[in-house]
Chain A
Amino acid sequence: MRLGGFQAAEDADAEAATNETEQLLVSRLVHLMRHESTDEQFAIYLTARKQFGQGGVKRIQ
Protein backbone atom coordinates (compact mmCIF):
# COMPACT_ATOMS: atom_id res chain seq x y z
CA MET A 1 0.00 0.00 0.00
CA ARG A 2 2.78 2.38 0.96
CA LEU A 3 4.72 1.50 -2.18
CA GLY A 4 1.62 2.14 -4.25
CA GLY A 5 1.33 5.54 -2.60
CA PHE A 6 4.91 6.42 -3.51
CA GLN A 7 4.34 5.30 -7.10
CA ALA A 8 1.22 7.46 -7.36
CA ALA A 9 3.08 10.46 -5.93
CA GLU A 10 5.87 9.92 -8.47
CA ASP A 11 3.29 9.79 -11.27
CA ALA A 12 1.79 13.01 -9.99
CA ASP A 13 5.25 14.64 -10.01
CA ALA A 14 5.89 13.48 -13.58
CA GLU A 15 2.50 14.85 -14.67
CA ALA A 16 3.26 18.17 -13.00
CA ALA A 17 6.59 18.37 -14.87
CA THR A 18 4.89 17.62 -18.21
CA ASN A 19 2.25 20.23 -17.49
CA GLU A 20 4.94 22.78 -16.71
CA THR A 21 6.72 22.12 -20.03
CA GLU A 22 3.46 22.47 -21.94
CA GLN A 23 2.48 25.68 -20.21
CA LEU A 24 5.94 27.10 -20.84
CA LEU A 25 5.34 26.63 -24.57
CA VAL A 26 1.95 28.33 -24.31
CA SER A 27 3.40 31.26 -22.38
CA ARG A 28 6.03 31.86 -25.06
CA LEU A 29 3.23 32.55 -27.54
CA VAL A 30 2.41 35.78 -25.71
CA HIS A 31 5.72 37.26 -26.86
CA LEU A 32 4.65 36.80 -30.48
CA MET A 33 1.50 38.87 -30.01
CA ARG A 34 2.37 42.18 -31.59
CA HIS A 35 0.45 44.85 -33.45
CA GLU A 36 1.24 48.40 -34.54
CA SER A 37 -2.04 49.62 -33.14
CA THR A 38 -2.14 49.50 -29.34
CA ASP A 39 -5.93 49.05 -29.47
CA GLU A 40 -5.55 45.92 -31.57
CA GLN A 41 -2.75 44.64 -29.36
CA PHE A 42 -4.93 45.17 -26.31
CA ALA A 43 -7.78 43.24 -27.99
CA ILE A 44 -5.38 40.35 -28.71
CA TYR A 45 -4.12 40.36 -25.10
CA LEU A 46 -7.72 40.39 -23.88
CA THR A 47 -8.55 37.32 -25.96
CA ALA A 48 -5.49 35.53 -24.61
CA ARG A 49 -6.37 36.53 -21.04
CA LYS A 50 -9.88 35.14 -21.42
CA GLN A 51 -8.52 31.81 -22.63
CA PHE A 52 -5.84 31.59 -19.93
CA GLY A 53 -8.42 32.44 -17.27
CA GLN A 54 -10.29 29.22 -17.93
CA GLY A 55 -7.25 27.03 -17.33
CA GLY A 56 -7.83 26.44 -13.64
CA VAL A 57 -5.49 26.67 -10.66
CA LYS A 58 -3.10 24.06 -12.03
CA ARG A 59 -2.21 26.38 -14.92
CA ILE A 60 -2.25 29.73 -13.14
CA GLN A 61 0.45 29.53 -10.50
Chain B
Amino acid sequence: MDAFKLFNDCVTKLLETERTKSLELAEVLRLQKALLNFALKCYPGNLDFVNHCINQAVVVLRGGKAEGKEAAELDDAAVQELEALLSIPLASLALQVLELNEYSDILAFLPWESRKQVAIELVRAVLASRAPLSDLAKVTKLFEMMGPLLKDDPDAASHSKVQQELLLSFCVRIPCAGPHFDCVRLCASMCNPPAIYVDN
Protein backbone atom coordinates (compact mmCIF):
# COMPACT_ATOMS: atom_id res chain seq x y z
CA MET B 1 0.00 0.00 0.00
CA ASP B 2 1.31 3.42 -0.97
CA ALA B 3 0.97 5.53 2.15
CA PHE B 4 2.32 8.64 0.43
CA LYS B 5 -0.46 8.49 -2.18
CA LEU B 6 -3.07 8.17 0.56
CA PHE B 7 -1.77 11.18 2.45
CA ASN B 8 -1.31 13.17 -0.72
CA ASP B 9 -4.90 12.51 -1.78
CA CYS B 10 -6.08 13.70 1.61
CA VAL B 11 -4.05 16.91 1.36
CA THR B 12 -5.23 17.56 -2.21
CA LYS B 13 -8.85 17.03 -1.22
CA LEU B 14 -8.42 19.29 1.77
CA LEU B 15 -7.00 22.07 -0.37
CA GLU B 16 -9.73 21.72 -2.96
CA THR B 17 -12.67 22.08 -0.61
CA GLU B 18 -14.23 25.52 -0.44
CA ARG B 19 -13.95 25.79 3.31
CA THR B 20 -10.16 25.56 3.30
CA LYS B 21 -9.70 28.09 0.47
CA SER B 22 -9.47 30.71 3.21
CA LEU B 23 -6.52 28.91 4.83
CA GLU B 24 -3.48 31.05 5.47
CA LEU B 25 -0.60 30.49 3.05
CA ALA B 26 1.63 29.55 5.99
CA GLU B 27 -0.82 26.80 7.01
CA VAL B 28 -0.84 25.31 3.51
CA LEU B 29 2.94 25.41 3.37
CA ARG B 30 3.11 23.73 6.79
CA LEU B 31 0.91 20.95 5.40
CA GLN B 32 3.25 20.47 2.43
CA LYS B 33 6.22 20.53 4.79
CA ALA B 34 4.71 17.71 6.85
CA LEU B 35 4.04 15.67 3.71
CA LEU B 36 7.60 16.25 2.49
CA ASN B 37 8.97 15.23 5.88
CA PHE B 38 6.94 12.04 5.74
CA ALA B 39 8.12 11.26 2.20
CA LEU B 40 11.77 11.77 3.15
CA LYS B 41 11.55 9.66 6.30
CA CYS B 42 9.53 6.76 4.85
CA TYR B 43 10.80 6.75 1.28
CA PRO B 44 14.39 7.98 1.49
CA GLY B 45 15.92 8.54 -1.92
CA ASN B 46 12.59 8.73 -3.74
CA LEU B 47 13.01 12.00 -5.60
CA ASP B 48 9.60 11.79 -7.29
CA PHE B 49 7.77 12.32 -4.03
CA VAL B 50 10.01 15.24 -3.05
CA ASN B 51 9.52 16.72 -6.50
CA HIS B 52 5.78 16.34 -6.16
CA CYS B 53 5.69 18.15 -2.79
CA ILE B 54 7.81 21.01 -4.12
CA ASN B 55 5.65 21.28 -7.24
CA GLN B 56 2.52 21.43 -5.10
CA ALA B 57 4.06 24.21 -3.03
CA VAL B 58 4.91 26.15 -6.21
CA VAL B 59 1.33 25.81 -7.42
CA VAL B 60 0.06 27.11 -4.08
CA LEU B 61 2.52 30.02 -4.11
CA ARG B 62 1.64 30.98 -7.66
CA GLY B 63 -1.96 30.89 -6.53
CA GLY B 64 -3.15 29.77 -9.94
CA LYS B 65 -1.42 32.69 -11.61
CA ALA B 66 0.22 32.22 -14.96
CA GLU B 67 3.89 31.32 -14.88
CA GLY B 68 6.28 34.23 -14.79
CA LYS B 69 3.85 36.61 -13.14
CA GLU B 70 4.81 38.34 -9.94
CA ALA B 71 3.76 36.30 -6.91
CA ALA B 72 1.92 37.80 -3.98
CA GLU B 73 4.01 39.14 -1.09
CA LEU B 74 4.65 36.49 1.55
CA ASP B 75 4.12 37.35 5.19
CA ASP B 76 6.71 36.49 7.84
CA ALA B 77 5.04 33.22 8.86
CA ALA B 78 4.83 32.04 5.24
CA VAL B 79 8.48 32.95 4.64
CA GLN B 80 9.47 30.97 7.74
CA GLU B 81 7.49 27.92 6.62
CA LEU B 82 8.83 28.08 3.08
CA GLU B 83 12.40 28.40 4.37
CA ALA B 84 11.86 25.30 6.54
CA LEU B 85 10.21 23.44 3.64
CA LEU B 86 13.23 24.09 1.44
CA SER B 87 15.78 23.27 4.14
CA ILE B 88 14.29 19.85 4.99
CA PRO B 89 15.41 17.93 1.88
CA LEU B 90 18.92 19.44 1.93
CA ALA B 91 20.36 17.31 4.74
CA SER B 92 19.43 13.99 3.13
CA LEU B 93 19.60 14.87 -0.56
CA ALA B 94 22.49 17.38 -0.71
CA LEU B 95 23.58 17.58 -4.37
CA GLN B 96 20.53 15.61 -5.53
CA VAL B 97 18.52 18.74 -4.80
CA LEU B 98 19.89 20.07 -8.08
CA GLU B 99 17.89 17.39 -9.86
CA LEU B 100 14.60 18.72 -8.50
CA ASN B 101 12.95 20.65 -11.31
CA GLU B 102 11.21 23.38 -9.37
CA TYR B 103 13.63 23.85 -6.48
CA SER B 104 15.38 26.88 -7.94
CA ASP B 105 12.02 28.36 -9.01
CA ILE B 106 10.57 28.10 -5.53
CA LEU B 107 13.70 29.71 -4.05
CA ALA B 108 12.87 32.86 -6.00
CA PHE B 109 9.73 33.32 -3.88
CA LEU B 110 11.85 33.89 -0.77
CA PRO B 111 13.35 37.25 0.23
CA TRP B 112 17.12 37.65 -0.16
CA GLU B 113 18.03 36.95 3.50
CA SER B 114 15.97 33.73 3.64
CA ARG B 115 17.46 32.59 0.36
CA LYS B 116 20.86 33.15 1.92
CA GLN B 117 19.95 30.93 4.88
CA VAL B 118 18.79 28.16 2.52
CA ALA B 119 21.99 28.62 0.49
CA ILE B 120 24.08 28.19 3.66
CA GLU B 121 22.22 24.96 4.46
CA LEU B 122 22.76 23.80 0.88
CA VAL B 123 26.51 24.44 1.00
CA ARG B 124 26.78 22.76 4.41
CA ALA B 125 24.93 19.69 3.06
CA VAL B 126 27.13 19.51 -0.05
CA LEU B 127 30.28 19.80 2.06
CA ALA B 128 29.05 17.14 4.48
CA SER B 129 28.26 14.73 1.65
CA ARG B 130 31.85 15.07 0.35
CA ALA B 131 30.56 14.23 -3.11
CA PRO B 132 32.94 15.57 -5.76
CA LEU B 133 31.67 18.42 -7.93
CA SER B 134 32.69 17.01 -11.30
CA ASP B 135 29.81 18.06 -13.53
CA LEU B 136 30.05 21.55 -14.99
CA ALA B 137 26.27 21.87 -15.45
CA LYS B 138 25.72 20.93 -11.81
CA VAL B 139 28.37 23.37 -10.59
CA THR B 140 26.72 26.15 -12.61
CA LYS B 141 23.31 25.32 -11.14
CA LEU B 142 24.77 25.13 -7.64
CA PHE B 143 26.30 28.60 -8.00
CA GLU B 144 22.98 29.86 -9.33
CA MET B 145 21.19 28.59 -6.22
CA MET B 146 23.75 29.96 -3.79
CA GLY B 147 23.70 33.39 -5.44
CA PRO B 148 22.92 35.26 -2.18
CA LEU B 149 26.20 33.96 -0.73
CA LEU B 150 28.20 35.18 -3.72
CA LYS B 151 26.87 38.68 -4.15
CA ASP B 152 25.02 41.41 -2.28
CA ASP B 153 21.32 41.98 -2.58
CA PRO B 154 20.90 44.11 -5.74
CA ASP B 155 17.83 45.81 -4.22
CA ALA B 156 19.66 46.74 -1.02
CA ALA B 157 22.49 48.47 -2.90
CA SER B 158 20.54 51.65 -3.59
CA HIS B 159 19.14 51.63 -0.05
CA SER B 160 22.53 51.41 1.63
CA LYS B 161 23.90 54.10 -0.68
CA VAL B 162 21.17 56.49 0.50
CA GLN B 163 21.96 55.58 4.13
CA GLN B 164 25.65 56.16 3.53
CA GLU B 165 25.07 59.58 1.96
CA LEU B 166 22.79 60.60 4.82
CA LEU B 167 25.35 59.53 7.38
CA LEU B 168 28.18 61.29 5.60
CA SER B 169 26.23 64.54 5.37
CA PHE B 170 25.37 64.22 9.07
CA CYS B 171 29.05 63.75 9.97
CA VAL B 172 30.02 66.80 7.93
CA ARG B 173 27.32 69.05 9.36
CA ILE B 174 27.60 68.11 13.02
CA PRO B 175 31.19 67.21 13.77
CA CYS B 176 31.62 64.77 16.66
CA ALA B 177 33.56 65.87 19.70
CA GLY B 178 36.26 63.26 19.24
CA PRO B 179 37.82 61.60 16.23
CA HIS B 180 35.40 60.43 13.53
CA PHE B 181 36.75 56.91 13.47
CA ASP B 182 33.42 55.18 14.21
CA CYS B 183 31.50 57.27 11.71
CA VAL B 184 34.06 56.72 8.97
CA ARG B 185 34.15 53.00 9.68
CA LEU B 186 30.39 52.81 9.58
CA CYS B 187 30.26 54.72 6.30
CA ALA B 188 32.88 52.39 4.84
CA SER B 189 30.99 49.30 5.95
CA MET B 190 27.77 50.60 4.42
CA CYS B 191 29.48 51.39 1.17
CA ASN B 192 28.59 48.90 -1.53
CA PRO B 193 31.80 48.45 -3.44
CA PRO B 194 31.56 47.82 -7.17
CA ALA B 195 32.29 44.35 -8.46
CA ILE B 196 35.89 43.82 -9.44
CA TYR B 197 37.76 41.30 -11.53
CA VAL B 198 34.68 40.53 -13.63
CA ASP B 199 35.69 38.16 -16.39
CA ASN B 200 33.82 38.10 -19.66
Contact = CB atoms under 8 A, between A and B. Distances in A.
Contacts of B198: 50, 53-54
B133 A54 contact: no
Contacts of A49: 199
Interface in A15-53: 15-16, 22-23, 25-26, 28-29, 32-36, 40, 43-44, 46-53
A40 B127 contact: no
B136 A9 contact: no
Interface of A: 1-2, 5-6, 8-9, 12, 15-16, 22-23, 25-26, 28-29, 32-36, 40, 43-44, 46-60
Q: Please classify the interface of chain A as helix (H, G, I), strand (E, B), loop, or mixed, using the class held by over half of its residues.
A: helix
Interface residues of B, number: 37
B25 to A, nearest CB: 29
B114 to A, nearest CB: 14
A49 B186 CA distance: 30
B182 A5 contact: yes
